[in-house]
Structure 1
Amino acid sequence: MPAKAKWAQLADYIRERIESGELAPGAKLPSTAQLKQEHGVSQTVVRQAILVLQTQGLVEGVHGVGVFVTERPED
């Protein structure tokens, strides 16, 4: 089985932090630069991971401000 793409690994990592409550609704994600440095990936990898999480409704970007965890409706 091929290794999972770096952007998918990063998206999984952030998703796990959101689902565990470590990143609560309204919390700001680390900056692209911080994520690049912490995970040793490129800006493209970070952008792709964030895009996937946005598509899944887990985060939303505010231009010029940052990316935030969305409010999650109770199941």
Structure 2
Amino acid sequence: MPAKPKWEQLADHLRNQIESGELAPGAKLPSTSQLTKEHGVSAIVVRQAIFKLRTEGLIEGVQGVGVFVVEH
């Protein structure tokens, strides 16, 4: 079985943090530049992971402010 793409691995990591409560509802996610440094990936990888989580309804972006965990 081939390894998951990096964006999918990052999405899984962030999803696990959200589901475990490490990133609580209303919490702001680290910036794209922080995530690129922490995970050793490109900004495109981070954007793809964020897009995936947004389509799952786990996070939402606020223009000019950041990306936040959605309150359910």
Shorter-chain TM-score: which interval?
A: over 0.9
Structure 1 SS opposite 2:34: helix
Q: Counterpart of 1:33?
A: 33
Gaps of 5+ in 1: none
Q: Which residue of 1 aligns with 2:21?
A: 21
Alignment identity in percent? 74
Divergent runs of 4+, >4 A: none
- Letter of the aligned partner of 1:22 in structure 2? E
- 1:57 aligned counterpart, secondary structure: coil
**Deviation at residue 39 of structure 1 after TM alignment:** 0.2
Please name the residue that 2:48 is paired with.
48
SS in 1 for 2:35: helix
Q: Which residue number in structure 1 is paired with residue 61 of structure 2? A: 61
The letter for the 1-side match of 2:56 is: Q
3-state SS of the aligned residue for 2:60?
Answer: strand
Structure 2 spans left out of the alignment, 5+ residues: none
TM-score (norm 1): 0.95
Give aligned pairs, total. Answer: 72
Deviations 1:18-58 (A, max 9, x none): 00000000000000000000000000000000000000000
